[in-house]
Chain A
């Protein structure tokens, strides 16, 4: 089955720790995205990547880092510099070839809580 998988589903982090959220897709999609959602709020873009070995900051990149070493994978690291990391994190992917304007598919999300 093709799809996009995020893990873990729930993650607890102690203050001052870095944690990495996994996002893997087997849809052969070029573009991948990370969003953050706070309770009752919309999705805010953290980072996105259109091709392997390249990525761009979104609207709220401070305190986060990403890598895109493989087309299938786009892990997000929440660093200790992110002062309020408790949120619902969503990864998405989509095909973005020349002239293509397709929908995005989402993973099931990771709920991160600082303890």
Chain B
């Protein structure tokens, strides 16, 4: 089983729609969680960190469920500019060496006019 898993999509949604992505992780010792956005042929950029209590940033809401080991990202009122690949990232302790930063395979979103 991969350490971080996501539905690859693509999710094709109309402008204004609400869309949700889920991500599951296997390492119960994972400490922190992030959502990144990657545009085609560009580097990933941080969208938001995910906190235990859940957090919101404008149209974006992230939730963490430690018991079930999954993270979610909700995008409300989708814009054309939201079209991108969304990467779930999990930070965990690895082999007593330090921290490991593991990316999920990403979920592709296309927002259609």
Contact = CB atoms under 8 A, between A and B. Distances in A.
Interface residues of B, number: 24
Contacts of A45: 100-103
Nearest to A90: B43
B97 A50 contact: yes
Interface in B77-113: 87, 89, 91, 95, 97-106
Given A42-B87, A42-B105, A103 B46 contact: yes
Contacts, number: 55
Most chain A Cβ neighbours within 10 Å, of B44, B98, B101 = B101
A88 B40 CA distance: 11
Interface stretch (A14-22, A64-72, A106-114): A106-114
B49 to A, nearest CB: 6
- Give chain A's interface secondary structure class: strand
Given A90-B44, A109-B43, A35 B103 contact: yes
Q: Lowest 9 A-B CB distances belong to which pairs?
A: A101-B32, A42-B105, A50-B98, A106-B43, A43-B103, A101-B31, A103-B46, A96-B99, A42-B106
Interface of B: 31-32, 34, 41-46, 49, 87, 89, 91, 95, 97-106
Interface of A: 31, 33, 35, 41-43, 45, 48, 50-51, 56, 88, 90, 92, 94, 96, 101-109, 111
